[in-house]
Amino acid sequence: MTDYVDHRAKVAERPPGIRVSGGHGTWHGYLIGYISAALLTTAAFVLATNEWMTPASVVAAVSVLAVAQMLVHLIFFLHINTAPEQRTNILAFATTMLIILIVVVGSLWIMSHLRHNMMPMEMLIKMQR
């Protein structure tokens, strides 16, 4: 019972706008996240549907916007930050990103060397006869 009372006293002493770590975000934070995500999505859509830039530049720009979109979601909606309490979440996120990077780079490497490792068509035709 005293822990509950002590916690309420600490919350009452806290300045406005400061939230307890581990709690959910504020409406203000969610609104900023939502508007940022909407603007980034709109920017990617506008870039992809117009011919202002070369195709390679569009791919690069949309990729940068995608990374920014992920950061917005991590910060404003998943509440990942550099607080000591978030160490486990940050390590899990970093491990996940490392595994995804290994899979993507490995897949790209395999696809780029696929032709080199394939049997020549002439040998394949001779084997089928």
Q: How far apart are CA 57 and CA 64, in angstroms?
A: 11
State what percent of residues in the chain have pLDDT above 90. Answer: 36
**18: closest CA among 6, 28, 31?**
28
Matching residue, tokens 């060397």: 113
Q: Higher confidence at residue 89 or residue 41? A: 41
Matching residue, tokens 């609104």: 31
Q: Higher confidence at residue 64 or residue 86? A: 64
* Helix, coil or strand: residue 106: helix
Q: How far apart are CA 123 and CA 109, in angstroms?
A: 25
Query: Quick one: CA dihedral 19, 24, 29, 31, positive or negative?
Result: negative
Contact in structure between 76 and 38 (CB atoms under 8 Å): no
Q: Higher confidence at residue 22 or residue 95? A: 95
What pLDDT digit, counting tens, does each position of 117-129 carry?
A: 777 888 878 888 7
Q: How far apart are CA 49 and CA 11, in angstroms?
A: 49
Q: What are the structure tokens assigned to 75, written together?
A: 């910060």
What pLDDT digit, counting tens, does each position of 15-56 carry?
A: 455 454 445 678 899 999 999 999 999 999 999 999 889 999
User: In this predicted structure, what is the pLDDT of residue 45?
Assistant: 96
Check: pTM over 0.75? Answer yes or no: no
What pLDDT digit, counting tens, does each position of 7-16 carry?
A: 555 545 544 5
Would the pLDDT of 88 be above 70?
A: yes
